[in-house]
Structure formats: structure tokens, C-alpha cells
Amino acid sequence: MLCLGSALTFGIAGCDSNKMPGQPGSGKLKTVATTGMIADLVLAIGGDHIAMTQLIGAGVDPHLYKPIRDDIVQVLGSDLVFYNGLLLEGRMAELFARASTADRRVLALSDAIPAEKHMSEPGTDATDPHIWMDVSMWSIATHSIEQVLSTALPDHVSEFQERGESLRKRLDALDRQGLAALSSVPIHQRVLITSHDAFQYFGRRYGIEVQGIQGMSTASEAGLQRIPELLDLIIARSVKAVFRESSVAGKLIEALVEGAASRGYQLKVGEELFSDALGPRGSGADSYIGMMEHNFREISTALGGEWQN
């Protein structure tokens, strides 16, 4: 089963396996997206004019994801491909280069974000790929989705524009809710400690210092040496909680909690955060908006702030 488009928030059925999407007669654009965060946006704008195949499912780490044979078939049989770029899907770069032809648009949403908004991965020259963690930036990317769909199906331009605008309104409201939630955390306790560095854009937008334990990559084993330094920070700033991430192993978080306990400091583990993938269906974090609401709520409340829905 390859058709995993979420779009639950938007109430659109984007997956229709009985028809042959993209084939003459169906009238639907056969569309592929890598992550759920991307599929959700594309479905919200494309609605029933597209048939969505999402390649990387809930809880799966895109940094390490290697395309399987079916993914290659889906991509090479599609009309449009949307991916994040900035090497988030590092092992798929070759496939996307191959798939980009005169007849098939292959679009990296990160290309829609002005370069001056990009951040570097700590200690490297590489650009941080986690752009969706700043809702105002993800909202900018909706314009290029709208444009690409409008070029592909010019008869439906006004529909795509309307949906794009209504989506941006919802994202703007979400962004404001996030700003309010994080600003309710006492200022000296605004430190977000989590498994990997997925939250840099989040931290910059919503005003919280971010410490990733194992760096940008989810594969790194280098985190253990940071534990003593992080414990000093936690105790000095009275940080109440640290967080696991759904698509990353949580061993280092446990090491922090144990380390804190041995120094007589009780550190909580907050609810799991969703960074690089949506939550499973029915979890409430199974759409982009749901995922970010979950993160705003859990981070702000565990650190001593409030969340108002």
C-alpha cells in the first residue's frame, strides 16, 4: 500500500486506488511527495484534482530513508514530484535528478524559501533542511505548490488560489498560536533539549534556545559526550523537561534523565515530539497542523508555559 497521503485535517480524500491517476480519463495528476508534511500541503491545495502517493510514512526517518523499488516506479510514473530538499532526503537525490524531465516537474519546497531565511547546520557549511518547523516559512512554500499545480491544470487556477489562500490563513493562525504558547514559558527556562537538531528554525521563530543532543544527523552516536555540559545548563536554567522525537532513538534522553537524578535534580521527559515525520493516523499529529499543534502544546506546557487552543 503506497498511498498514504494524510490530509486528515483538510478532509480531502487524496488517494483513489481504483482509478489510474494521471492516465487519460482520470483527469487527476499523479503526484508524489516524500514526507507527510509535504503531502498534506499539496493535498490541501490540489484537492481531488490530484492522486497522492506519499513515500516516507509516519515515524520514518527521512535522513536515512532509501527508496525501495516501488518508490522508484511511483516517481518515474508520476506527473509531479514534491520533496523537501537541502539533503533531507539525502538518499533520494539521485532518483529525483533522474526523474526531472520536460514532462515531469520535480520541485524542492526549500527552493521556495528565500536563501536569507536559511540556517546553517551547527558547525558545518550545510544548510539545515528542517524548514517546516517554522510555520511562517512553510506557509511561503504553499505559493510554489499553487503555482506548479496551476501550470499543470490551468482550468483550475482559481480553485488552487482559493485553497492556497485558505490554507495560508490557517497556517498564519497556527503560527500566532505557537508564538503565544512559547512566549508564555518563563524566559530563563526557554530551552528546548531534544534528540537531534531538528528544531533550529522552530527556536529562531518561536524564541526558544535549542540544544540537540546528537547534532543534525539522526545516525550520529556522538551525543554522549555532550551530556555533562547539558546537565550543567539544565540545572543552571531550571529547565523542567527534555523531549524525545518520534523518528529518532531516545537513548540519549534517558542518559540525561539519569545523569540529572544522580545530581539530585528531577528532570521530566516530555511527550514525544514530532520532528521529521507526522504521527500515526488517529494520533492527532497525523496532519501538518496537528503535528505542530502537538509540538507547541507539549513544549510550552512541559516547560512551564500555557497552550490555548
* Exposure on the CB side of residue 302, measured as CA atoms within 13 A: 23
Q: With beta carbons less than 8 A apart as the criterion, state whether 167 and 45 touch.
A: yes
Answer yes or no: are the C-beta atoms of 22 and 12 closer than 8 Å. Answer: no
Distance in Å, CB of 244 to Zn ion, minimum: 14
> In the stretch 275-294, what mask flags binding to Zn ion with x, by CB under 5 A?
-x------------------
| 3 state DSSP class of 120 | strand
Minimum distance, C-beta of residue 195 to Zn ion, in the bound complex (Å): 9
* Interior/surface letters 187-213, b for 16+ CB within 10 angstroms, e for the rest: eeebbbbbbbbbbbbbbebbebebbbb
Environment class of 97 (CB within 10 Å of its CB; exposed 0-12, middle 13-18, buried 19+): exposed
Which segment (179-187, 191-199, 259-267, 281-289) binds Zn ion by CB under 5 A? 191-199
Give the type of residue at 213.
I
Question: What Cα–Cα distance (Å) separates residue 157 from each residue in 14, 26, 51, 124, 152?
Answer: 18, 19, 17, 41, 9
Which three three-digit cell numbers place residue 148? 506548479
Segment contacting Zn ion by CB under 5 A, of 112-120, 136-144, 172-180, 274-282: 274-282
- Cell digits for 130? 528542517
How many residues bind to Zn ion according to rule CB under 5 A?
A: 2
Nearer to Zn ion, 198 or 278 (CB): 198
Closest to Zn ion by CB, 89 vs 276, is 276
Q: Which stretch binds Zn ion (CB under 5 A): 19-27, 190-198, 205-213, 299-307?
A: 190-198
Q: Among 136-144, 223-231, 262-270, 273-281, which window interacts with Zn ion (CB under 5 A)?
A: 273-281
Minimal distance, residue 218 CB to Zn ion, in Å: 6
- CA 146 – CA 165 distance, rounded (Å): 10
Closest approach of Zn ion to the CB of residue 58, in Å:
15
Quick one: 163 or 196, whose CB is closer to Zn ion? 196
* Stretch touching Zn ion by CB under 5 A, among 37-45, 89-97, 272-280, 300-308: 272-280
Q: Which long-range contacts (CB under 8 A, 24 or more apart) does 218-222 make?
A: 218/61, 218/63, 218/64, 218/247, 218/248, 218/249, 218/276, 219/63, 219/64, 220/196
Residue with cell 546537565: 231
Q: How far apart are CA 202 and CA 274, in angstroms?
A: 12
- Of positions 43, 198, 277, 292, contacts Zn ion by CB under 5 A: 198
| Nearest CB to Zn ion, comparing residues 184 and 220 | 220
| Closer residue to Zn ion in complex, CB, 40/79 | 40
CB of 239 to Zn ion, least distance (A): 22
Cβ-contact 179, 76 below 8 angstroms:
no
Could you tell me the smallest distance in angstroms from the CB atom of residue 198 to Zn ion? 4
Single out the segment in contact with Zn ion by CB under 5 A; choices: 3-11, 146-154, 173-181, 197-205.
Answer: 197-205
Check the CA dihedral 204-172-44-157 and report its sign.
Answer: negative
Identity of the residue, 130 or 240, whose beta carbon is nearer to Zn ion in the bound complex: 130
Minimum CB separation of residue 111 from Zn ion in Å reads: 19
Judged by CB, which is closer to Zn ion: 275, or 300? 275
Q: Site map for Zn ion, 22-51, x if CB under 5 A?
A: ------------------------------
Measured in residues, the chain has a length of 309
Any bridge partners for residue 30, and if so which? Answer: 51
Nearest-approach distance from CB 271 to Zn ion, in angstroms: 18
The residues of the shown chain that bind Zn ion, judged by CB under 5 A, are 198, 276
